[in-house]
Structure formats: C-alpha cells, structure tokens
Structure 1
C-alpha cells in the first residue's frame, strides 16, 4: 500500500486513474538535463493612486484596463488574453503581463538563466508601463499588501473564474478575500531533473521557506494599518484553506512520490470548476462552466478520460502549497519585492538549489526533519519574529548558514521603485 492509499483510504475520495496518469506524465515531461539552470520569475505589483495611495482597480477611465490597452503596441497581438470581452493579459517573447483578482499587475519572466536577463527584461517592462501609469495618475509598488486600501475597497477584475473563486474563498477559511484583492508576491520557479530531485527540492524549499520569507519580508501594511504580523503572507495563506495550502501532506514521508502528490491534488475539492476548455461542457451555460466546488473533486467535475493541457494546469493551480509542483518546482514564500530584492532572491535560489555542494549540505542538515518540525518553525517565526529560533537556531545562524549575509547588506532601491524590503 503506497502513501496515497494510507492517507486517503478513510476519506472515501474517488480518484480517477486516468487523471492520475495525466499528472504523472506532466511531471515527467518537466524533467530537464541536470546541468540546466533555468528560472521562471513572477513579480506582482500593486497599483496605487499617486494622490492618496489608494488601490487602483481594473475599471474606469484611468484604471488597469486602460493601461493594458495602451501597452498593446509593445506586445504581440497573437498573445493577447481576453475574458468576457475585456483585455486581461499581454505577452511577447520572455515577458507576459497578467492580472491577479484585485487588478494586481503580474510580470512573468522566463525561462531566464542569468540575473542580467532578469534586470534587462524587467527594466524594459517598467520603462514601458511606468510612464503610462503616471499619466493615468497611479504607480506600481512592490509591497506584499496594499498600503492604504482594504479588500472591501477593491473590485475583482472581469475574469469569470474570479466570481467562482470569490464565492468559495469568501466562505472557507480566513483571509481569502484579502489575499485575492490586496496581496502581491514574488515567486521563483526552478527545474528538476527527475522525481528524486523534484522531491528533494520540494522538501528543502518547504523547510527553509519560512526563514527566507523572514529575511525578504516586505509587508509594512495590512488593511490600511501597520501590519501586526511578523510574516503576513504566511499568516494569510496558512489560514485561507488548509485543504490546499501549507505543507504538502505526506511530503516528508520517505515513501512519498509524484503519485502521492497527484492523489492529494485530485482528492481535494476543486475550489472552483473550470470547464471552459472541456469539450464535453461546451453547451453548458457560462455560469456552470465556472462555479464554486465546495465538495466536488476532479473525478466528479471532469470526464472519464485523460486531462487536456488546460485542465492539468487548472487542477494543479487550485492548490497553493508553500512550494508547489507543476512541471517545475515553484517557490511561493515571498512578498512582492523591488528589482534589487528580486535579484538578491534569485542569487540565493541559485546558490541553494543549483549548486551541488550547497544543496547536499542542506539535504544533510535537514535529514530527518518532518512536517511537525516545519510547522513548529513557522509558528515560532510568527510568534517571536526577530527573537525566533526556527529548528532551534537563531536567525543570525540562518543568515550565515544560508549564505544571506552578503546578499542582504547594502541593497539599494532605484528611481523607478524605491520600496526596499525590510532586511
């Protein structure tokens, strides 16, 4: 009996073997050559008014929709993204621009291989977007949460999926609507060469994530006030919906594998169903193609066949673990950061995950760590902040052990985005 059977036998969860096979092939297709060192970098931005720092939404004569339309000449027409007849995304080689629910503007860069590529692509993006935003009376800031506005002040953008997502997260857990409408993050994705390598990176990324989140924290505000939480992003995500956030169930069991991850994802209620690219649902009303799914898992939502590519992406994207597996490993711990901070973050990820000596040192140190240890470290950081001792060691130890001392000293802002993280 594998770990999936051990974990889920008592839940009577129906998992379609064809769906499991679809995910396993998808994970296998993500394997790269061991020497490949690629990064996907996503930086979310909060649009705020120049007049009073209030959140700027999608709609209106000077909102994000207008910004996107004025950016269109810089992007490829074939890579425009529309939803409900409204422009919601742009793309070109190396850069895509998309929207989070509260009109947070996300810049996705990749696959990149060097920090100078990060700087070049991102500065080009900002050189195009910043003058337009300024003419419209707002700017993009890099904080983990809106500096002035509450989630109640922010209307979701016109993507039809966000109505279903609001229906679900507005009724389950805590902070879901805060996360959707007012938060912003930096995420870095890395490659793996096989299943063993992917699992090792998932485990190490999960274990050190809360510590690195502390050193790269950048959420001075929450709901229009000073932020009371040492790690606001962690506080929100841990409380949103334990079925799909936090530590991957069973990750630190030595028997855990890709199949177990697939079963976990497929066993959990979908959060919301997306049948917009499911041919069998083409005749359904739009309201039924996007709907909240409080109880239905993938086997109850999708047909008895293998997934198509869109369905795979949707099923995996409805889980928000601290570190997420797609056909890459996605590290999701960090607040939105200005470019200098993102550069240092990428240097850290490169050093810890792509340098064999460093990664071996980490895997050796964390050998034997389990899920309860990681939960205790997260709780310690949340409760004690600067005085915490995750895994029994003070933060000064971790700064040295993770090679952060040089990275965190003398981090300047720049003219385009002076918000510097709080290291």
Structure 2
C-alpha cells in the first residue's frame, strides 16, 4: 500500500528527479512537475494527498501556488521547500495556510516524516468527515459516530425503530451513549417537533420524584403555591427518556407502569387523571435480570419496557472506532474552544487502542478534549499512564524527561535539529523519529545538514 500520493513541484529538474526517485523508493507515489502551472492543472484533475513545492521559481512561485491550492482544494496540505534566506517567507506562508516548510538542503528522512504526518492528518480528516455523514439526523445535534460492524448495526436499528411509536429499552454501560441513542430515536421519528425530556432516575431524590415527574396541584404540600406541570405533561407530543431506570424505587415503578399501560398521570395532591401523549424510552446499565432476581425491579415493568430493546456495545468491544472517535471529539473541542487542531500521534493512537475504557465513550471524549486543549501529559502528545496513587509511571516520567531535553536542545540551537542531535549525542535520524513520535513539530524546529 502506498504511503500517499505526492504532487512534487520544483523548477530544478535534477533535484526534482532525485527527490522523485527517493520518495518512490520510500513507498510514495509521485507526480512531478517543473512548471507550477502544470502542477496546478494536475491537482484539479487528480487527488494528491499532499503538495510539496519549492518557493523560489520563475513565473508562478510557491506562494502563488499555495494560494491557488487553498482556494481550489483547501483539504490538500501544502509543504513548501525554502532556501536558507527564505525562512521568514516560509513562516508567512504557514500563516496563510501552508502545512509545513522544509529548509534546503533538507534531510531525506525528515522529509519522509513530514510527509507521513501531512498524509495521515488529511486521511484522518477525510475519515472523520465521512463518519459524520453516516448519520444525517433531522434537526442536527450530536451524531452516532463509528464505523465498526456493531455501530453500523446500531444505526440501522435506530433508523428502523425511530418512526415506530413504541416504547424502547436502551441497554448499555455507563458512558456508552444511551442518551445519544435516545435523542437519535426522537430526532428521526415522527415526534421530532415535540420536546425531548431526559430524567435521570438516579439523580432525582425519591421525596420529590413524584412531584417532578407527574406534577402537583396547588397546596399539595408546603411550598406548593400553584399548580405545576410535571415532566410527562411538559413532554406532550414528544419523548421522555428515563435514564438509569434500574435506580427507580419500587413504589415509583408501579406508577410508571401505570403511565405506560394507560397513558395517564395523576398529579400529586389531585384526584383526576390527565392523559399524556408521549413516547417513553428507558435506559439501563444491564438487561435488568439481576435486579429482577434481587426483587429491586418489577418484572411486569421490565416486560412492558423491553418489548423492543437496543443494546449498545462497550467501547472495548469495538476498538476499531477508538481512533476515529478520539479524533472526532478532539476536532470538535478544538473548534469549540478556538484552538488549532492537533494531529494525533501514531504512538498515542496505539496506546488508546490498548486501554480498557471503563467509562466508555464519555471517558474517551474527556481525554480527547484534554488533548485538544494541550492539557495532555507533560506536552508529550500521548496519554499518560498513572500508578495506583495517580502518579506517572516510570516509562511516562522518562518520556516526559526526554521531551524536556529534546526541546531544550532544539531551543539552544535555534531550531537546527542536526546540531541539536549532535549535542544530544544521537544520530540526526533518531532525533527526527523522536520528534515525530512525541509530536514536537513546531516553528522553532528546522532540519539542516550543516
């Protein structure tokens, strides 16, 4: 499999030929042009993963080509090659949208690492966009993201049940996305124009549950100064989502059962029945068989709810979705907080795949948002492991210390990685690999064979 398709532009034919040969030997497919205008026409006809162009060229220069590519194909990253005196111009180009720049004479291994990073970033963005388009829900809102067989089956089941006005039981571990699925059922169904009202049964104290859910009449208790609609009445024409229904006290379960069977409620302190027009969706952490056996959940309520169920697989059973979800949430967080998007290092992605994710998607989302804000561990660009008391483990302490030394060496030598590698006593290629692994690419870091 090709490492990516590179559109290479340089007016120096000898350099163009040499660079093309090296990239092809290294696993890239290359389309080479010595005339920028021809390269631009090629870009409009084909689908390169990245454009690499010299800045100083007769006629159309690299800056002009950059602006043309951005206008025509903003999704394709552009990397500029610069002479020693063009660094200021290259920095300006990055502000205008260039992905990166490489100072001539460049280190061949460094060029490969820059290209791998650009190609992976573009492919990840395209994959995220594709996944976001998999679930087009009317009315917008959060989407069910994932491309594993389990998630494709889940979306199909949601689409099948959304417009069927039947109560549904959603079963899934904490943080797996039960409310997200309930919202999808609501938005894709005939009740989409009505309210979606979520009730967390575990968070609502029993003493006020009946008043909050069914409402109360004026004078029903001290402080009841007027009549008040409950959640069921407020949701008229829409959907009520009863999350963590296994936490509901038995006395209240009987009243919920009556609502499901008769579609009426009775306000606290009132003797008349009020009809309610709602769809009820319940969420539970398990299939409730253990709760029923222990006498904590009514069997008749379970069978009334479980006519149709939707089961959400835990994240550890669909690991192929982890990387895509992490990038998706990191991208959303970057836009929300006005931060530049960060490329997820391959090493971090590999570590994410190995974790157990007891908190499921909710835990992954929190980790992705910390990454997007640059709050991940010591700036290493990877997820830190902690010991039983919360401290960093030895490998992560060593990695953080190594990052600190590398940054100091790069700063000391004004971004020249060749000199930084010499001062650290390691080969230039080894330093470039560490820079790529830790995600340390930045404006101060340059590569030179000097």
Do the structures match in fold with TM over 0.5?
A: no
Structure with more relative contact order (C-alpha pairs < 8 Å, separation 6 or more) = 1
Q: Say which one has the larger Rg.
A: 2
| Larger strand share, 1 or 2 | 1
TM class, shorter-length: under 0.3
TM-score normalised by L of structure 1: 0.25
TM-score normalised by L of structure 2: 0.24
